[in-house]
Amino acid sequence: MTNQCSRRRFLQGVGAGLILPAALVRAAGADEFWLDVRKLGAVGDGKAIDSTAVNKAIDEVAARGGGVVHFPPGTYACYTIRLKSNVSLHLETGATILAASGSGYDNAEPQDAAFEAYQDYGHNHWRNSLIWGEGVHDVAILGRGMIWGKGLSRGLGSDRDLPKSEQPGVGNKAIALKNCRNVLLRDFSILQGGWFALLATGVDNMTIDNLIVDTNRDGFDIDCCRNVRVSNCTVNSPWDDGICPKSSFALGYARATENVTITNCYVTGHYEMGSVIDGTWKSAPPELAARATGRIKCGTESNGGFKNISISNCVFDRCRGLALESVDGANLEDITITGITMRGVTNCPLFLRLGRRMRGPAGVPVGTLKRVIISNITSYSASPLPSIIAGVAGNPVEDIKISDLYLHQVGGGSAELAKRDPPTEEEKYPEPTMFGELPASGFFIRNARNIEMSNIEISTAAADARPALWLRDVAGADFFRMRLPTGTAYALDGVAKFRSFGSRTIRDIRFDERQSRTIHE
């Protein structure tokens, strides 16, 4: 394909709705601003190291005020590629940027020891990556090509064929961005992205659209970012989370992740890495599929908070369920979740956790988890774990509204399990399995206030002796039009301002004083 044809296709993309800086649009039509990396010496044979030529091309385009660095079909083995403002990387169909093996990557930058321990090593460093940018603006990576992080470390100590990710010269992320603005990532694929396929920290005005990510750790980590749009993406991440808003202390201060939409995405942990990109969709081995991650999660790093987040029209397929977590002093609030389908969830469909792990500066109070609306959710064949809403003593989860929900659980809970008193685990890493097996088939709710559920159906594939809903230390609980398995509908312990009404097989009941009792279907 000629450069002229590539430019024409690029401009057609702009006309179809690509949101690009004016400098890039001007650049696409001018030969001097559309620079083929081969003109600077890139070979593209998968053997020669082309990162020097690529960085020269980026420098030249940036020096001219901006434009497009074009990768024609070929495999470009590279160490670190450094992004610059007003420069777009365009990966033509058939073009692959390959993370070279070895230790030729930029060293990780120094980090302030005062806050380095507040998050894992990978969150504290950006430059030890295949592609990184810091303090840049108006940048883009576009096109139907691929980024293959073959030579990147997964960041799990010592990998089988790589030195530890902390050693100088070792890369462990496909794309890392810090303190950037006006970023567009569109249409390409990421295979084997290392510790993070994308780590974006302190990035504002970012669009991630139509990516396919088939990776060996996290897909997208959106950390301390504002005004982010994630849409039309497929993420297969069997070993870790798929799409993960976070709010760590990696910038040296607490910064909220806010004004984020995640829509029309597919997340899974079920398939062998690479088989989603190549279209073979090979199921992972049973031992991996049983613990598949691949979900959408707000957390675990949660120092700065999460505000104004909308998650809609997404599919979860044989992975963990949706998680909202504040355990490090963050305020997690004003969240809307709608139009989600889940199949084969490996733990619980919905996990809302407010805890007191408090990995961060001393003296910060426990955060909040409140004002969450969840609607139009269907979950089929989830694990025996129920959905979980759990705060801690003195710090309840608040103002949760759940409606139009169908939960199909595998069931099988015993009468003995129905009597179990789970530990509170207030300071523990948040994960649905943190409390062990739970005495409910549908919802486990503890330390909460103002919970409202309507038009809910809970069913179990196997008979289950546990109550459908287990509530302890809850003030304000409204349940309307509930359809629950035969047996105990509600097990209440220290519940006040309770009301259940409008259900076909459960008598209406209401009380205000604090009570402990069971209500049968």
Instruction: Give the CA diameter of the chain.
Output: 78
Is residue 359, in this structure, part of any structural domain at all? yes
For residue 440, give every residue at least 6 positions away whose Cβ sits within 8 Å of its Cβ, in sequence order, or none. Answer: 386, 466, 467, 468, 469, 470, 491
Predicted pLDDT of residue 290: 77
User: Concatenated DSSP letters for 387-400?
Assistant: EEEE-BTTB-EEEE
Q: Is residue 376 part of a domain?
A: yes
The pLDDT, as a whole number, for residue 388 is 98
Asked if the structure places residue 481 within a domain, the reply is yes
Q: How far is CA 215 from CA 101, 175, 195, 307, in A?
A: 17, 13, 9, 28
What confidence tens digit (pLDDT) does each residue in 311-364 have? 999 999 999 999 999 999 999 999 999 999 999 999 999 999 999 999 999 999
> What pLDDT shows up at residue 433?
96
Question: What percent of the chain has pLDDT above 90?
Answer: 88
Q: How many CB atoms lie within 10 A of CB 495?
A: 24
Higher pLDDT, 279 or 157: 279
Give the global pTM.
0.93
Q: Residues 404-414: what's their mean pLDDT?
A: 97
**Cα separation of 293 and 3, whole Å?**
41
DSSP 107: P
Q: What is the tens place of the pLDDT at every residue in 136-167?
A: 999 999 999 999 999 999 887 544 444 466 78
Q: How many domains does the chain have?
A: 1
pLDDT at 20: 46
pLDDT at position 161: 42
pLDDT at 425 over 90: yes
State the residue range of the domain holding 345: 320-521
pLDDT of 8: 58
Is residue 348 assigned to a domain?
yes
Both structure tokens of 238: 């069997």
Question: Residues near 161 by Cβ (< 8 Å), separated by ≥ 6?
Answer: none
pLDDT attached to residue 423 = 97
d(CA 289, CA 325): 24
Rounded to whole angstroms, how far apart are CA atoms 132 and 499? 54
Instruction: Judge whether 430 lies within some domain.
Output: yes
Residue 3 in domain: no
CA separation, residue 483 to residues 148, 297, 373, 436, 502 (Å)? 48, 28, 20, 26, 10
In a domain, 329, yes or no: yes
The backbone region for 100, taken as left when phi is positive above 0, alpha when psi lies in -120 to 50, beta otherwise, is beta
In a domain, 135, yes or no: no
Q: Which two tokens stand for residue 362?
A: 């001393």
Residue 2 has pLDDT above 60, yes or no: no
What is the secondary structure of 338-388 as a DSSP string? Answer: EEEEEES-SS-SEEEEE-----SSTTPPP-EEEEEEEEEEEEEEE-SPPEE
pLDDT value for 16: 43
User: What are the tokens at 381?
Assistant: 């064949």
